[in-house]
Amino acid sequence: WPLVYGGLVSMGEAFIGMGAIGAGIYAFFNRLLIPFGLHHALNSVFWFDVAGISDLSNFWGNTGVYGQTGMYMTGFFPFMMFGLPAACLAMYKTAKPGKKKMVYGLLASAAFCSFFTGVTEPIEFSFMFLAPGLYLVHALLAGITAAITVALPVRLGFSFSGGAIDAVLSSFLPLAENPWLIIPIAVVVGIIYYVVFRFVITKFNLKTPGREAVSDDGADTAAISAKAPAAETKKEAASGDVPVATIIEGLGGKDNILSVDNCFTRLRVSLKDVSLLKDDVINTTGCSGIVKKGNDIQIIYGMQVGAVKKAVEENLDL
């Protein structure tokens, strides 16, 4: 860890003094590191006192330099408030007709969260494993957005993240520069995100939420679930749109499941025999990815994971 952390700090320090370009490069690597959780090491260089910048505390404490302080936070607002929500719209529009209702809850709630609070992980984790190439496109767009926003110039800061709440609050601080430009910039960024995401998804047939593989006969998740035994099908119907029978089948059957739990975005299941796990079946249930840790399986469902867990528990009588 000291070597990794030191390497990221050194990389961040290399961007200092590069102005808007450096801010854009930082935003690009910030997004790339999110899947590994290492973006916090890079953030410490710019937001806190690791390299003497303290962008965050200086902005809110009015102890920085007007026109300079805030440059490593400003660029996050446009793509967090409008860019990624527009990406959600693109993913919803390109989802298969039979799955749009299922992905709507995931994407709509995640877009709302990103716009108001700047919490983007529910969106990013919904496609970064399904379509890593698209995630790279997102990182590039984020970096370009940050560089242009800082160059205009605009200066805003956040105490939590780049959502609308922090945008409004920081607009009234002394070090805020041209805060009104954030909205028109964000609108343009939203349009670009929507067009680019929709084009890339359809052009390369990416498996974003709602576009996962179907069975050989072309049936979608609902049809696969309908093949379950009658008793399970009846209980599954009572569980709404959650393909419970398919999930249980993919986990190796009821007798193979020891426990079911969930965190913010993941269904966490402990299995007796992990070799009975059927990845291809699980991938038809609307998940964004599968993480295996011994006999413990994590299936990424996003914000709808609570409903998934409840439905599975009802079928298992846990």
Catalytic residue numbers, as ranges: 263
Residue-by-residue DSSP string for 48-68: STTTT--HHHHHHHT-S-TTT
Q: Judge whether 155 and 70 are in contact, CB under 8 Å.
A: yes
* CA separation for the pair 77, 242 (Å, rounded): 34
Nearest in space to 150 (alpha carbons), one of 46, 254, 222, 293? 46
CB-CB neighbours of 170 under 10 Å: 24
* CA separation for the pair 141, 139 (Å, rounded): 5
Strands (DSSP E) contained in 212-305 are 257-262, 266-271, 289-293, 296-300
* CA separation for the pair 62, 60 (Å, rounded): 6
DSSP lists the bridge partners of residue 299 as 267, 290
Residues 6+ apart with CB under 8 A from 204: 133
Pinpoint the alpha helices (H) of 118-214. Answer: 121-127, 132-151, 164-170, 182-203
* CA separation for the pair 204, 49 (Å, rounded): 43
- Give residue for tokens 């413990």: 296
Instruction: Look up residue 203 and give its amino acid.
Output: K
* Structure token digits, residue 111: 């877009």
* CA separation for the pair 79, 97 (Å, rounded): 27
